[in-house]
Amino acid sequence: MAATAEAAAPLAPARVRVLLIVVAVIETVAAFNGLPVLFGDLSEVPGTGPAGWTILATIVLRPVFAIAALTFAVRRRLPRAVLALAVVVLLSWLSLLPSVIIHGLELSPGFPGLLIVANVVLFPLLALAALALAWRDRRLALAAILASLPTLVWIVGFIVFAVAIAIYGF
């Protein structure tokens, strides 16, 4: 029984590492999708003032932290990978704040309203919890799941949308 527990122990960090690598790759690709905004008319797209600067800062910093998360995960520095991934989630949340401040939450009934609450309230709390756990180097698997959950929810939503389009058309 003890030999089985010892043999299973190294698998957990490997699974955490694979999860972090997959999520970091997805976040890196998503972060690079926002970069073309920097080459357009910056006074028009994100706007001017603190709201526009906040959005521009998140567009610039998100790829940096996504690549850092991927690099740390590949190099087996899992606590640092979780920290970087949690910062990516917080940067995504930060990019939503100008819209929330200007327009309010604009909750709609059903799944879209639930997703807005998750993006604005739940996901930053999960990222902060992941930051705290990774900073203390405790419960790393839980911290990785908490930091990865927003990305995984986005992927599931994308798959559901693609299947709905494939079945029902546009």
Q: Is 109 left (phi over 0), alpha (psi -120 to 50) or beta?
A: beta
In this structure, is residue 41 part of a structural domain? yes
In this structure, is residue 1 part of a structural domain? no
In this structure, is residue 3 part of a structural domain? no
In this structure, is residue 55 part of a structural domain? yes
In this structure, is residue 29 part of a structural domain? yes
Q: pLDDT for 61-82, tens place per residue?
A: 999 999 999 999 999 999 999 9
- The answer to whether 23 touches 151, Cβ cutoff 8 Å, is yes
Mean pLDDT value across residues 50-69: 89
- The answer to whether 60 touches 38, Cβ cutoff 8 Å, is yes
pTM score: 0.82
Following DSSP, what letter does each residue of 50-73 receive, concatenated?
A: HHHHHHHHHHHHHHHHHHHHHHHH
What is d(CA 145, CA 126) in angstroms, rounded to the nearest whole number? 9
In this structure, is residue 2 part of a structural domain? no
Q: Which domain holds residue 113?
A: 13-168
37-41, 107-111, 151-155: segment of lowest average pLDDT: 107-111
Give the max Cα distance, the chain.
65
Q: What is the total count of domains within the chain?
A: 1
In this structure, is residue 105 part of a structural domain? yes
